[in-house]
């Protein structure tokens, strides 16, 4: 005779089983297959025979491939800089939108628009903005007297990656704003009132009241953005296709090219696994940071 607890356990498993099967089919199986592929010389489309096992060859090749190393650094630069800027702008805009002023609601809607735009549309729009002949960026900077002639922003390896980053930042800072603004609105006004009566400066009020309230949603926003930015692909595909001189070839684009343009499913899978591992490291670091923060804030409360 099973105890009540045992029966409940069993029932739980029965109820979970269908979902576990679906999850296995959708996640574990493709992942397992990708890992297996990464140890073979499989082509994306078979020429008949079964792919051969090559052991760690793909990984060794990948790790010594200077192009791959360069694209890791490029991707990290892209991720760190754009996410940092998105964080700062996001918080500043959220603080601004939390103030009471005329037309605030309209502005709130406008700020969210870029984020609601499909990435492809955003990328096309920025490609036009950066157009060397009639782009608005050139027109604006020339009229302001910042540059003396039209430049080819996406055609120069010095500026192409930054131009793509600008497009990414413009599209994604509203997510940070959105989450931070929601947190800001949950702070009761009395807290600020009391602090003001106690003579706390604006900076002190921000540090003691505002920041602790927004730190959790901000971290979540930044984690989400980091993972997204690390995988950046669509904006690059539309704006530069990895050029010029590979200056915008990020990891995702690298994996795409290896697998779909060169048809090397095996080494493409190896690159993809390495990329997933790097993404895993990033996420772990963030999780540790988040947990520490939570521990610190609960310690403060008690």
When asked if residue 242 is in the footprint of other proteins (CB under 8 A), the reply is yes
Q: Minimum Å distance from CB 114 to other proteins?
A: 24
Q: Closest approach of Cβ 275 to other proteins, in Å?
A: 19
List 2, 14, 48, 102, residue binding other proteins (CB under 8 A): 48
Among 76, 119, 125, 155, binds other proteins (CB under 8 A): 155
Q: CA 122 from chain center: how many Å? A: 16
Rule CB under 8 A: choose which of 240, 252, 269, 270 binds other proteins: 240
Phi-psi region of 112 (alpha: psi -120 to 50; beta: other; left: phi over 0): alpha
245 near other proteins, judged by CB under 8 A = yes
Q: Do 187 and 194 contact (CB within 8 A), yes or no? A: no
CB 132 → other proteins: shortest distance, Å?
A: 4
List binders of other proteins among 247-266 (CB under 8 A). 257, 260-263
Residue with tokens 């904006």: 235
Q: Rule CB under 8 A: choose which of 92, 108, 125, 132 binds other proteins.
A: 132
CA distance 229 to 268: 20
Q: Please give the size of the binding site for other proteins, defined by CB under 8 A.
A: 26
Query: Are 153 and 163 in contact, with CB atoms under 8 Å apart?
Result: yes
Least Å from the CB of residue 57 to other proteins: 11
Pair of tokens at residue 90: 């996001």
- Binding other proteins (rule: CB under 8 A), the pick from 51, 114, 212, 243 is 243
144 binds other proteins (CB under 8 A): no
Contact criterion met (CB below 8 Å) for 177 and 85: no
CB-wise, 228 or 246, nearer to other proteins? 246
Q: Which stretch binds other proteins (CB under 8 A): 10-18, 218-226, 239-247, 280-288?
A: 239-247
> Closest approach of Cβ 158 to other proteins, in Å?
9
Among 137, 154, 161, 236, binds other proteins (CB under 8 A): 154
Residue 192 near residue 206, CB atoms below 8 Å: no
Q: Using CB under 8 A as the criterion, which residues of the chain lie in contact with other proteins when the complex forms?
A: 43-48, 132-133, 150, 152, 154-157, 240-246, 257, 260-263
């Amino acid at each position: 005779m099973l105890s009540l607890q045992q029966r409940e356990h069993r029932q739980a498993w029965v109820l979970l089983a269908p979902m576990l099967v679906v999850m296995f089919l959708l996640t574990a199986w493709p992942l397992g297959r990708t890992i297996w592929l990464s140890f073979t010389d499989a082509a994306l489309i078979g020429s008949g025979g079964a792919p051969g096992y090559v052991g760690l060859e793909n990984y060794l090749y990948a790790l010594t491939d200077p192009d791959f190393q360069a694209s890791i650094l490029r991707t990290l630069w892209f991720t760190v800089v754009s996410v940092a800027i998105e964080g700062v702008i996001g918080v500043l805009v959220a603080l601004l939108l939390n103030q009471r002023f005329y037309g605030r609601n309209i502005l709130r809607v406008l700020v969210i628009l870029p984020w609601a735009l499909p990435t492809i549309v955003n990328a096309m729009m920025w490609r036009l903005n950066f157009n060397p002949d009639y782009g608005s960026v050139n027109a604006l900077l020339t009229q302001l007297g910042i540059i003396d002639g039209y430049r080819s922003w996406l055609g120069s390896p010095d500026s192409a990656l930054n131009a793509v980053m600008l497009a990414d930042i413009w599209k994604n800072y509203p997510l940070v704003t959105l989450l931070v603004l929601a947190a800001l609105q949950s702070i009761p006004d009395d807290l600020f009132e009391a602090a003001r009566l106690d003579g706390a400066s604006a900076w002190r009020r921000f540090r003691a009241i505002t920041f602790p309230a927004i730190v959790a949603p901000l971290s979540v926003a930044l984690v989400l953005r980091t993972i997204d930015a690390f995988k950046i692909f669509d904006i690059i595909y539309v704006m530069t296709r990895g050029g010029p001189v590979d200056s915008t070839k990020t990891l995702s684009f690298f994996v795409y090219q290896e697998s779909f343009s060169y048809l090397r499913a095996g080494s493409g899978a190896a690159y993809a696994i390495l990329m997933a591992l790097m993404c895993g490291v990033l996420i772990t670091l963030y999780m540790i940071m988040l947990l520490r923060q939570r521990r610190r804030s609960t310690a403060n409360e008690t």
